[in-house]
Structure 1
Amino acid sequence: MKNNQKAKTILTDFQNQVLRELFLDEWFRRYFYLTGGTALSEYYLHHRYSDDLDFFSHDIDIKPFLGLIKKIGKKLNQKIQPITTAPSFMRFTIGDNLKIDVVGDVGFRVGVPELIDGMMIDSIKNLAVNKVGAILGRLDAKDYVDLYFLLSEYSFDVFDLLELGTKKDAGLEPFIWSTIIADVDRLMMLPRMIKPVTFEELKTFYFALRDKILDRIKPSE
């Protein structure tokens, strides 16, 4: 975490209960870590609410997760609904609407997950690199909001994040990415925020970031 003082949790009681049940399992605790918007906001930025639980693992068979989540559902007396069960990606809902994504990620990772309060949590820089990559692949206000706060509150160099991102996705090229972030103009709805931000602030930030990238990569005259 950026500081040692833990902010008020963004987790619902049910999210927290499911998280703790998962990380009680030795296999899960050894091979998986919490990532995505929930990890970013709960353990680092405390900037917005997040409804899902996202877990990454590397170089293992994730299929046994199906048995684990069914066991937890039975223990908590909650219905488990499988949505996708592909070899490297699984999606479930547990209870009424808590979505859980489990991903067998590419081998490259920035930093190592940290054990916090009995749970493995993704590193802040790996979260930042993944957010840069997420913007390449989809138009989602959550990604733009998350990266805005990451770059505002941490001393990350966007060019460093882009370079690291190519080790996960070779298509993460600065010129293409600088063009894509102009789509901030098309965002329709912000996530549920804790720290305030406006569409105008996001637009100003991302258009300035686009210009910075284009200035850096333009050929010398």
Structure 2
Amino acid sequence: MNDFFVNTLPLKTKELISLLQDKNPDWLHDFYLTGGTALSLFLGHRESEDLDWFTENNFDPIKLQAKIEVFGKLEGTEISEGTLNTSLTGIKLQFLEYPYPLLEPIIDWQNINLSSLIDIACTKLQTIGMRGSKKDFIDIYFLLKHFSFEELFKELDKKYSKTNYNLPHILKSLVYFDNAENQPMPRMHQDVSWGKIKEEIIKKIKSFKF
């Protein structure tokens, strides 16, 4: 897949991605872009501005911070082992050690590594299992146009085979919308209502067979 929905991204996010593609820093090659913004590049379904970068390798967040500061002043920086959260040009950045294997090869997009659609989908399921936001449920709704729950949970089992994830809990979380109800809808590029999203997810969960 070579065509991406770049125009679904806010201007500041596009500009930062273009800057990184143009400068092509060595450290960026150790990470892959994933999460909501990567998914929006694939599907073009909603606006997303944060950039989530994962790696299977160990890295020093303090040294990485110094390298990123070459591109501008960082704000709101938080550092812990294997994690760097910060903002550059108003865009939130997360760099995270993520020890779970990629199911499909990295996609090279003009000097930026992207994780595959199925890898993003599996991580989304895990996120919803912890605490799903409205954006996460929206993303699952659009991912279900590409994968069935049977396919998703089969791949989830491969990706997280070394961890004791709780499938019944994830299934319950997929139809627990209370925390998301009062959250604002993101700017959508494909027309769908919150009610339709919930209805479709519930319907597909009910028909899912272990």
The answer (yes or no) to whether the contact 1:7–1:46 under 8 Å persists in 2 is: yes
The CA distance in 2 between the partners of 1:48 and 1:163, in whole Å, is 28
1:201 to 196, 202, 207: 196
> Helix, strand or coil: the match of 2:33?
strand
The CA distance in 2 between the partners of 1:152 and 1:18, in whole Å, is 30
The structure whose RCO (Cα within 8 Å, separation 6+) is larger is 2
* Aligned residue identity for 1:19: I
| 2:137 counterpart of 1:144 | yes
- Percent sequence identity is 24
1:171 to 152, 162, 165: 165
Equivalent residue, structure 2, for 1:76: none
Do the aligned partners of residues 163 and 200 (structure 1) sit closer, same or farther apart at CA in structure 2, a change above 3 Å counting? same
The CA distance in 2 between the partners of 1:191 and 1:169, in whole Å, is 32
Q: What TM-score results when the alignment is normalised by the length of structure 2? A: 0.86
The CA distance in 2 between the partners of 1:48 and 1:55, in whole Å, is 19
Equivalent residue, structure 1, for 2:48: 50
Give unmatched runs, 5+ long, in structure 2: none
Do the aligned partners of residues 116 and 170 (structure 1) sit closer, same or farther apart at CA in structure 2, a change above 3 Å counting? same
The answer (yes or no) to whether the contact 1:39–1:121 under 8 Å persists in 2 is: yes
| 2:205 counterpart of 1:210 | yes
The answer (yes or no) to whether the contact 2:58–2:97 under 8 Å persists in 1 is: yes
> Helix, strand or coil: the match of 1:184?
coil
The answer (yes or no) to whether the contact 1:82–1:92 under 8 Å persists in 2 is: yes
Q: CA RMSD in A?
A: 2.2
2:17 to 16, 19, 32: 19
The CA distance in 1 between the partners of 2:19 and 2:188, in whole Å, is 27
If you compute each CA radius of gyration, which structure gives the higher value, 1 or 2? 1
Q: Matched residue pairs, number? A: 205
After superposition, what is the alpha-carbon deviation per residue over 1:10-43, rounded to whole angstroms, capped at 9, x for unaligned? Answer: 233332332233343442232111111111111x
After superposition, what is the alpha-carbon deviation per residue over 1:177-211, rounded to whole angstroms, capped at 9, x for unaligned? Answer: 22111213553232221111112211211212221
Equivalent residue, structure 1, for 2:77: 83
| 2:127 counterpart of 1:134 | yes
Equivalent residue, structure 1, for 2:68: 69
Equivalent residue, structure 2, for 1:114: 107
> Helix, strand or coil: the match of 2:105?
coil
